[in-house]
Chain A
């Protein structure tokens, strides 16, 4: 310890004594300074502080006591030993009034005693100095500690506050000192904290961890924790001291934690899902209200009192036992599954269950979540019932493959569910309709096609079924899928076709009327005109002219008669009343004869016959087939250009004879090829006036050929040529039956 050397001032006019004292004290290790007079001593004390001054009371310039008084002002730390030659009561009494005069020694000075006195002073000074240092350290510690330190007087006013407390409260030291602690406290905490302080002041109790809130100068709340203790002074309580810690952060965290815990519990309690916490043994330790509501019980205890077997339907209980067994064996059990439970009131409800391990009050338990899917199940069942009984075909397609098909779908396609599921949906569509379906389905799924589209399905038996369909995007097993529903409109389509045919027939009838009226009136005009002319101008006409007129009337009559015959034939064919008078006939001869006659009718055209081999005889109505040949040859000549080349060919093709009539000329537009056999069809351009006939020609040919069990068709390259061909079956197969069938089923 580096205690400074005690400095001693010796004030005495006796120089001998000086030396004696100096020698003695320096031998002890003290520093000594000498002053011969009071004035000299005062001068010395102004520059230097002395631990002890030894003063002669009878100095020449000043009395010892007075000098002490003066020096005390200059150096308050100094302690004095007054020496005197003659002890007097008066001096002694005066000395005592000065606290700093520690001894009063009469001369001659007893060195031993003085040395002892000074040693005591030195010792005390050392102690004081050490104390002082310690106090400074403490003070520094208190001032600079992170903890707040406060001292309250008995009235509760702050008499000390350190830096940390200033920072905690936002006030500076001046603002805090003298301030009542109550004014700093949070209003809500005043009534709680102040009585504690008062109690401590009276009962001297120490209080551990008193927490309270203080309002910061800036207005916010600061949470503080302190352990105040009573300050005792001479057995009475002088106030309270407290070390204060700012616990705001901790408090806020605690509050957040509590809030989060509250939220967690609230969310469990208030969850619309039933939640139960069970131990690994299956014992329920928590159930929320929703869970109890699902089961219809008032409390968890009530629920637990009912045996498990009575809470499940028998099937679901069996599954429960299986799950439990698997769990006990440590085998895999799905974390979500469905159960059917029996409520307290006996109602069956369907629940979806999710089970997972959680920490519950620090222990690993199982949280089981129940979702009541009864209504959903019922809706599902309802939809299923609708779908299973619907007259509409319903299916679900995912990735182009059937995932679901209802019975009606199976019925109309003829395939079973097993055959359909997992197969390509497009493969059941009529090949020509697949692209249309693809495009329409995409448009409808995009919401761009508001009305159903129609297409054809091919059933298992190969039958074509017309359907009218709508599709919608759906989720199926968690992924996008297409829900299709269609109506089988095969019947409707058939009726539609019939209606169209009927309408066409109606139009044909009126066309027939108009054509018949025109075609009939033309020869009638000739007959009426020439006959009235002959009657009216009889005398002015030459006999030659009259003969020509009568010939015109005659041929007009033939035309009329021919027209009437054709109309009758047509009607008979349509009514299925045409009787074929079949005889074995050589078609070679028939063809050659028809060509010859046509050549006479159309002398300007070149008609060639090309028969590759001898044709076998066929059983035909010779007159009718001749009619067909005449018609085809007439048409070929009529629709050719001038000086046309017309060729008629005949050959055998398997069990049929094939006869074709080809002409060079304008040909027939492709779109009209299919219509040329309609009753009233007539190519619009009539290049050879006067040669046009009734549109019945080709229609009649078809009727006659089909009545013989043959087929007839037209081919053409527009602008180049046209070829009409027909077949006649060779004997061997039942041609009569064939003929009847054709006659009765043709539409």
Chain B
């Protein structure tokens, strides 16, 4: 996959096309490189193949639950430090606890505004910068 230098890659995993398009468009407008997946398996595959800065994950996915992606990311050494923002239609505290317990970095509830999405992504990426750079260096030298 060809990458634009200097652009951070964000993966959006969401089954609803409209919702996915909206998130992808906002993030593109914010200057990120956006990758998309509409189910868990595809999401995991894309995450493994690309050097990601962040994952946006809808927990309610067809087939496997979005939790599978979260667990997979956290259990894969090369992916484990990638921040994951979980997006769900449920504001229930239980869902939130479950997501954070499984290793989600942030938890957002639908419906999302462009601003809340933008701000959450920016906040996390700035917080993660230090550790991110180190990983970035190592991964780059490895992939050639």
* Partner-B contacts on A (CB < 8 A): 514, 517-518, 521-522, 524-530, 532-533, 535-537, 540, 545, 549, 552, 556, 685-687, 689-690, 692
Contact = CB atoms under 8 A, between A and B. Distances in A.
Contacts of B113: 528-529, 532
Contact of A526 (B22, B26, B114, B115): B22
A248 to B, nearest CB: 105
B102 interface: no
A689 B15 contact: yes
A527 B111 contact: yes
Given A517-B90, A537-B29, A529 B15 contact: no
B38 interface: yes
Contact of A530 (B22, B63, B117): B22
Contacts of B16: 522, 525-526, 689-690
Contact of A686 (B62, B90, B111, B112): B62
20 contacts: A517-B90, A522-B16, A522-B18, A525-B16, A525-B22, A525-B89, A528-B111, A528-B112, A529-B22, A529-B117, A532-B115, A533-B26, A536-B118, A540-B29, A549-B22, A685-B63, A687-B62, A689-B62, A690-B15, A690-B17
B23 to A, nearest CB: 7
Interface in B22-67: 22-23, 25-26, 29, 38-39, 60, 62-63
Nearest to A687: B62
B136 interface: no
Contacts of A687: 62
Contacts of A536: 26, 114-115, 118
A667 B29 CA distance: 44
A533 B22 contact: yes
A687 B63 CA distance: 8
Nearest to A548: B21
Interface string B99-135: 0000000000011111101100000000000000000
Nearest to B17: A690
A528 to B, nearest CB: 3
Contacts of B15: 689-690
Contact of B111 (A514, A525, A535, A549): A525
Contacts of A524: 110-111
Contacts of B111: 521, 524-529
Contacts of B63: 685-686
B25 A533 contact: yes
Contacts of B62: 686-687, 689, 692
A525 B117 CA distance: 12
Given A517-B90, A690-B15, A525 B110 contact: yes
B66 to A, nearest CB: 13
Given A524-B111, A529-B19, A536-B26, 13 more contacts: A517-B89, A521-B110, A526-B16, A527-B111, A529-B22, A529-B23, A529-B111, A529-B117, A532-B114, A537-B26, A552-B18, A689-B16, A689-B62
A580 B5 CA distance: 64
A518 B38 contact: no
A533 B114 contact: yes
A692 B63 CA distance: 12
A545 to B, nearest CB: 8
7 nearest A-B pairs in the assembled complex, by CB-CB distance = A528-B111, A529-B22, A521-B89, A532-B114, A532-B113, A526-B18, A525-B111
Given A524-B111, A525-B16, A690-B15, A514 B25 contact: no
Contacts of B114: 529, 532-533, 535-537
A525 B38 contact: no
Contacts of B21: 552
Nearest to A688: B62
A541 to B, nearest CB: 8
B18 A556 contact: yes
Contacts of A545: 25
Given A532-B113, A532-B114, A525 B19 contact: yes
Contacts of B115: 532, 536
Contacts of A530: 18, 22
Contacts of A522: 16, 18-19, 89, 110
A238 to B, nearest CB: 134
Contacts of B17: 689-690
Contacts of B23: 529
Given A537-B29, A686-B62, A526 B89 contact: no
Nearest to B38: A689
A556 B110 CA distance: 14
B85 to A, nearest CB: 14
Interface in B52-90: 60, 62-63, 89-90
A529 B112 contact: yes
Nearest to B90: A517
Nearest to A534: B114
Contacts of A540: 29
A552 B112 CA distance: 15
Contacts of A532: 113-115
Contacts of A528: 110-113
B19 A526 contact: yes
Contacts of B19: 522, 525-526, 529
A525 B112 contact: yes
Nearest to B95: A514
A367 to B, nearest CB: 89
Contacts of B89: 517-518, 521-522, 525
A683 to B, nearest CB: 12
Contacts of B90: 514, 517-518
Contacts of A518: 60, 89-90
Contacts of B60: 518
Contacts of B18: 522, 525-526, 529-530, 552, 556
B17 to A, nearest CB: 6
A717 to B, nearest CB: 24
B31 to A, nearest CB: 11
A526 B20 CA distance: 9
A517 B115 CA distance: 22
Contacts of B22: 525-526, 529-530, 533, 549, 552
A524 B18 CA distance: 11
Contacts of B118: 536
B90 to A, nearest CB: 6
A87 B89 CA distance: 184
Q: Taking each of A529, A532, A535, A549, which has the highest tally of chain B beta carbons within 10 Å of its own beta carbon? A: A529
A517 B29 CA distance: 29
A644 B38 CA distance: 23
B46 to A, nearest CB: 16
Contacts of B39: 689
Most buried by A among B23, B39, B111, B115: B111
Contacts of B38: 689
A686 B16 CA distance: 13
A702 B11 CA distance: 42
A525 B112 CA distance: 6
Contacts of B29: 533, 537, 540
A529 B63 CA distance: 25
A690 B19 CA distance: 11
Nearest to B15: A689
A522 B16 CA distance: 7
Nearest to B60: A518
Interface centre among B22, B23, B63 (most CB of A within 10 A): B22
Contacts of B110: 521-522, 524-525, 528
A701 to B, nearest CB: 23
A37 B79 CA distance: 172
Interface core residue of A549, A685, A689 (most chain B CB under 10 Å): A689
B117 to A, nearest CB: 8
Give the most central of A514, A517, A525, A556: most B CB within 10 Å. A525
